[in-house]
Amino acid sequence: MDTENPLSTVWPLPVRGEPFHRADAESLRRMDAISAATACAKLHTMGITRTAVQGPTALETGSRVVGSALTLQFMPQREDIASGHGQEYIERDTALWAVLETVQPGDVLVVQAWGSAFTGCFGDMLVRYFKRRGGAGIVVDGRIRDAARVRRLGVPIWCTGTTPHYASQTDLFPWAYDVPVAAGGVLCLPGDVVVADDDGAVIVPAAKAPALIQDAEDHEDWESFSRMRLEQGARLSDYYPLSANSRAEYELWRDSRPKLPAQ
């Protein structure tokens, strides 16, 4: 086995994808007022139908994050390439460590881990380091470990559960980063926008963000009007969604409001 890089004999690891552009700060700032549900619905009407990551749920109720996607991909473990039987000496050289050294403030790490019940992709030490580098959140189609300590770190995480297993203990191995990944049946390119909350995580294609934001801001605004009317006793079918009449009423209300940021 090559002493320089013990992973390199059969297939050179880690694989690193091409450089990519992170989502722009202004998009991320405005997206902050938009729920995962609204993002998902608006993308659907824009023709992008597979955006909600299936499987991972918020580790803590009340979690929420918006950020630019940084990606990590696991593949099935194979002992002639790399395995986790001596974790201390192997994982250090993998995509798992490598991607963490590239985290920039605000990044959301999106991880293809095949929904494995046996792979604890991140534990206390790695999440701690991720946080120190400014990482904003993690969406992993797999499990985490050291859950009690990880919870205390306060990094919002969407995962498929917890496990005592470490990342390469059983079935998977960190393979690549900065590459397109599939998480919970959704494609995520590096630099896409991730919006995640208690409903789950939604991947917003980077180029779709501006149109989505405009549409969603209007939506969140008229919904707040509808909500007010419903609280005042109005009939659901008259105000949600807006009818022609109530849309007109809303627009009057909207235009006569003092100007404030949405939400």
Tokens of 58: 């918020």
Residues 117-156 that bind a second copy (CB under 8 A): 117-118, 120, 123-126, 128-129, 132, 145-148, 151
| Among the listed residues 33, 37, 153, 262, the single contact to a second copy using CB under 8 A | 37
Task: Decide: is 78 part of the binding site for a second copy (CB under 8 A).
Answer: yes
Report the sign of the C-alpha dihedral through residues 237, 232, 256, 214, in that order: negative
Question: Does residue 178 have a known ligand-binding role?
Answer: no
**Smallest distance from the beta carbon of 249 to a second copy, in angstroms?**
16
Element (H or E) spanning 223, and its range? helix 209-231
Secondary structure in 3-state letters for 198-211: CCEEEEECHHHHHH
Give one DSSP letter per residue of 113-155, joined into a string.
-TT-SS-EEE-HHHHHHHHHTT--EEEESSEES-HHHHHHHT-
29 versus 78: smaller Cβ distance to a second copy: 78
| Among the listed residues 45, 102, 104, 263, the single contact to a second copy using CB under 8 A | 45
68 versus 258: smaller Cβ distance to a second copy: 68
Question: Does residue 125 have a known ligand-binding role?
Answer: yes
Residue with structure tokens 């991607």?
99
| Among the listed residues 185, 211, 248, 251, the single contact to a second copy using CB under 8 A | 185
User: Which listed range, 21-29, 91-99, 209-217, 254-262, lies at the site for a second copy (CB under 8 A)?
Assistant: 91-99
148 versus 258: smaller Cβ distance to a second copy: 148
142 versus 200: smaller Cβ distance to a second copy: 200
- The number of angstroms, rounded, from the C-alpha of 213 to the middle of its chain's C-alpha atoms is 17
Cβ atoms of 48 and 209 within 8 Å: the answer is: no
| Among the listed residues 171, 217, 221, 249, the single contact to a second copy using CB under 8 A | 171
Residues whose CB is less than 8 angstroms from the CB of residue 1 and which lie 6 or more positions away in sequence, other chains included:
9
| Among the listed residues 62, 105, 258, 261, the single contact to a second copy using CB under 8 A | 62
